[in-house]
Structure 1
Amino acid sequence: MYRRITLPLVLLSTAAASHAQNAVPAPAPVQAPVAATPTVQAAPAPVVAAEWKRKQAQELLAYVEAIGEEGLDPADYNPERLRQAIDAKDERLSAVATETFLKVASDLMFGHVRGAARIDWYVEDDSWNVYDQQALLDRAVAGETVGDALRSLLPTHPQYAALKTALVKAQDEGSRGKIRTNLDRWRWLPRDLGQKYVIVNVPAYTVALVESGVTLDRRRAVAGAIKTPTPSLNATITGAIFNPWWEVPSSIAREVAGKKGYVSVKSAGGAVRYRQPPGPSNALGKVKLVMGNPHAIYLHDTNAKNLFNKQARAYSHGCIRTEDAVGFAATLLDGTEWSRDKVNETVKSGKTVQANVATPIPVYIVYFTVAGTDEGDLKRYDDMYSRDTKVLAALDDRGTALASN
């Protein structure tokens, strides 16, 4: 037996809300001709709450009370309200249990911290619409245990498990706060990063190529300076440009205006932009990865290779300078006609040439200030952009708790 209920909007549109606050505004759409017979598409019906049995509601309550294992706060899900509904044995139980279940599921799926509170985070959320929520709810009340249904939403990356182990061992609130903050960041990421992907951890100053869970290549990186921080984003690597031109961003055009080694280009409207040709002094070095994104952030080589010897490497305008970027690009081009010899010959030629990878490779630029080790200990990285305190404050915000009645 099912009962249709209207649930709070936040439970039904968390992904959309996150995108709305994080996304770069899209250009205005082109006005389309008015159709003779316009079609109106109905909005999805709200989630339908199944009749919760008392035992299932008790399983949900137990999960909420133990949710601290995930670095979340049980109080955000108002366990007392659910407990009262269980004890009352009245018709409110299904509505209260469904609302609690979806709130917990939402935070496991996307993390508790949303929107601008994520701070400079533009990685796309997974799609999880009302139909997905309905399917999860139906599974939970139709045989699968409530706990298993909820756990199916959690990140499966080994780092998430390692951080949970470290959270159990953490003795002080400072360490616990760091771990909880980074557990939530893992929940912000897509569950499937891809069989083969590149991940850049900005606080660790590292670039890594991972395939089937194994790190094939790891390089040092130079990230954005404090005044020009590197944003967190995801993109797709489709190729590499050897001996690239550098298109100077308008934000720093004044720094190069009139300097030797730059070419000015005037547009039809009279605006001037600057380009730097390939060569020993080119800021992009010998290679730039093709990974289009609205923030114009790329992985590339550099002519300032001495910076890789420093422990703290926050010096760029936002892009990720990659150690031995030519070698890293050659690794990404494995499986194509671009052998290491061909790559080296192309670089030596000085000609600007683009080589495409065999299969597009996802890349994630992320911000993790702690990592778990196999022994359950923590590896710490400097919170270079001072983001952790703000994220932790949002994680601890009780304003999102369920209503008390």
Structure 2
Amino acid sequence: MKAILYFHVILLAVIQISGQNIRLDLFLADTANWRTLHYPKTVKRFYEQNGFKYAWMDSEKDLLQGAVALLASAPQYGMSSYANQPQEFSAEKLKKAAHPTTAKDSVAMIRNDILITDQLITFLNHLHFGKYNPFYKADEIDERNIDGFRADEILAGALRKRNLQNAASEAQPKIKAYQDLQNYLRRTFSGDNEVPPETVTKIIINMERLRWVDTDEDSYILVNIPSYTLEFHQAGKISEFKVIVGKPSNKSPVLKSAIHYFTTAPVWVVPQSIMMKEILPKILKNRQYLTNHHYSFYNKEGHPIKGNSTTLKAVRSNPSQFTVRQSAGPGNALGAIVFRFPNPYHVYLHDTSQPNLFHQEYRALSHGCIRVEDAKQLAGLLLTGDGAANQIPELEEAMQTYTRKDFILKKPVPFMISYLTCRIHQGKPEMFRDIYGLDKNLEQKFPN
């Protein structure tokens, strides 16, 4: 209510200066007027593209109604309705505001035009990035172009074509898992599917999660933590692999990155937490553990040092000055190959020296990294997709002999780790165990 009153005060001030001719450019040029808007900079860019003309209140009736109808249809896209103030967008009030005869009517006209624009842009941004995106905050989305997406450009284009539904279609994620959920939800709203409310909620929260990791590329790798699977989408074909993910106490992170290269015969630099909690106690109990498992101590300069009693004493008193590395070979925790992708969590995708674990149904067993079954096959598919299938024999030789070699991709492949407790499989919802207990919090943000 305070925001609405503030909006009225500002608009009346503009009217007093310029009479009945309320100028959108002057109003939006004053940043003090932005506080009632969710994406003020994006709203301003939209009106710049529209020549600072009214977009909805001074247009044909069907366009205005289309804007309000699109906001009201948000639940069909797995979102809460954005026409959440029906008294503000009632047909009678909009009709009166679209034909101002007094200063008060002019206030309503500009106010509703800007509010509708901001609501549409908010809807499009939420549809593309998600409402609760952990990677991008609203002010960052408002400020700049992120991965080529600009809600103002999409809305302006839809306005020119007089087809607002196109804006929603263009903003939505293109990733297959999302499209499957969206299509099923749309059929549910049209009455084609009889679905329990709790299943609808699962679909909605997992659509939200997929907005956080979407990609426009046709080839990509999607890891899903709850299903313990990795999908490589390539040229319309999907290759599925089993994976091992982080334990609930060492959760694998949700992230969006790209695989740039992979390395055979990797050396494992043991993280400090694992060194202190797991490796060092075993070494202290039996010094032969170092040799038996091919571990070595290194000082902060990166030089190897002997694992004698003096070193162990120094490590115990000042562990941050030392690292432990495991040399390449059959017993290396990373296996014969590791796939590298930039991320702030220091996790990677890799082979394993314990392939028997893939036979288990419950595979939340790692310290956070993703272990993949048939890593050689995955590497071969990456090389083939990169136009380097001729390097596969070299890859196989390097893995067989534990020879270190980097295979650099000419075009990095998008790599995403997601947390999906529901997907559409063979036309029906398939549920997965919520192994990290993350559903409840998100479900509360999307009441059915």
TM-score normalised per structure 1:
0.80
Residues 32-90 of structure 1, C-alpha deviations (whole Å, 9 max, x = no match):
xxxxxxxxxxxx96653641124322111112222211111216743442226414324
Which range is displaced more, 96-105 or 221-230?
Answer: 96-105
| 1:160 alignment counterpart | 178
- Mapped partners of 1:389, 1:76: distance in 2: 26
Q: Quote the Cα distance in structure 1 between the aligned partners of 2:264 and 2:255.
A: 24
Distance in 1, matches of 2:171 and 2:136, equals: 22
For 1:107, the equivalent position in structure 2 comes to 126
Match of 2:256 in 1: 234
Preserved CA contact (<8 Å) 2:154 2:170:
no
- Alpha-carbon separation, structure 1, partners of 2:53 and 2:148: 15
The residue aligned with 1:11 is 39
State how 1:4-403 maps to structure 2 within 5 Å: 4=25, 5=28, 6-7=33-34, 8=36, 10-12=38-40, 47-48=46-47, 50-51=53-54, 52=56, 53=59, 54-74=61-81, 77-83=84-90, 85-89=93-97, 90=105, 91=109, 92-115=111-134, 127-128=145-146, 132-167=150-185, 168=188, 169-192=193-216, 194-215=217-238, 217-254=239-276, 255-257=278-280, 258=283, 259-260=289-290, 261-268=294-301, 271-334=321-384, 335-336=387-388, 339-375=391-427, 377-396=428-447
Q: Distance in 1 between matches of 2:153 and 2:226?
A: 38
Structure 1's 251 and 331: CA in aligned 2 closer, same or farther, altered over 3 A?
same
Q: Tell me, yes or no, if the aligned pair for 1:333 and 1:358 is still in contact at 8 Å.
A: no
For 2:249, what is the secondary structure of its paired residue? coil
Aligned residues of 2:255 and 2:416 also touching (Cα < 8 A): yes
Q: Distance in 1 between matches of 2:147 and 2:330?
A: 51
> Which letter maps to 1:184?
E
Question: Contact 1:47 / 1:130 at 8 angstroms: preserved in 2?
Answer: no
Please give the secondary structure, in 1, of the residue aligned with 2:251: coil
* Aligned 8 A contact 2:46 2:153 in 1: no
Structure 1 residues 239 and 128: alpha-carbon distance in aligned structure 2, compared to 1, 3 A threshold = closer
Give yes or no for contact 1:117–1:391 (8 Å, CA) kept in 2. no
Q: Is the 8 A contact 1:77 1:103 kept in 2?
A: no
Q: Quick one: distance in 1 between partners of 2:333 and 2:144?
A: 35
- Where 2:245 maps in the other structure, the secondary structure is strand
**In structure 2, C-alpha distance between the alignment counterparts of 1:304 and 1:76, rounded to whole Å:** 54
Match of 2:315 in 1: none
Superimposed CA distance per residue, residues 335-372 of structure 1 (whole angstroms, 9 cap, x where no aligned partner) = 32754332222223233222223432121111111111
TM-score (norm 2): 0.72
Residue-pair matches, total:
359
The answer (yes or no) to whether the contact 2:220–2:413 under 8 Å persists in 1 is: yes
**After the TM superposition, which of the residue ranges 310-319 and 96-105 deviates more from structure 2?**
96-105
Which 5+ residue runs of structure 1 have no aligned equivalent? 15-43, 119-124, 398-405
* 2:296 partner amino acid: V
Aligned mates of 1:78, 1:160 — CA distance in 2: 29
- Alpha-carbon offset, residue 129 of structure 1: 10
Alignment-derived partner of residue 27 in structure 1: none
- Amino acid in structure 1 at the alignment position of 2:433: D
Residue 120 of structure 2 aligns with an amino acid whose one-letter code is F
Between the aligned partners of 1:229 and 1:129, the Cα distance in structure 2 is 27
Q: Alignment partner of 1:150: what SS?
A: helix
Asked if structure 2 preserves the Cα contact closer than 8 Å seen for 1:237 and 1:362, the reply is yes
Distance in 2 of aligned mates of 1:60 and 1:244: 55
Residues of 2 paired with 1:178 and 1:110: CA distance?
18
Specify the alignment match of 1:403 in structure 2: none
Distance of 1:227 and 1:104 partners within structure 2: 36
Q: CA RMSD in A?
A: 3.0
Q: 1:45 to 1:12 in 2, by over 3 A?
A: closer
Cα deviation for residue 96 of structure 1 reads 2.6
Asked if the contact 1:65–1:79 (Cα under 8 Å) also holds between the matched residues in 2, the reply is no
Worse-superposed segment, 182-191 or 321-330: 182-191
SS at match of 1:10: coil
SS in structure 2 of the partner of residue 303 of structure 1: coil
Q: Secondary structure at the match of 2:178?
A: helix
How far apart in 2 are the matches of 1:361 and 1:179?
27
Q: Greater CA radius of gyration, 1 or 2?
A: 2
Q: In structure 2, what is the Cα distance between the partners aligned to 1:116 and 1:393?
A: 20
Q: Distance in 1 between matches of 2:204 and 2:151?
A: 25
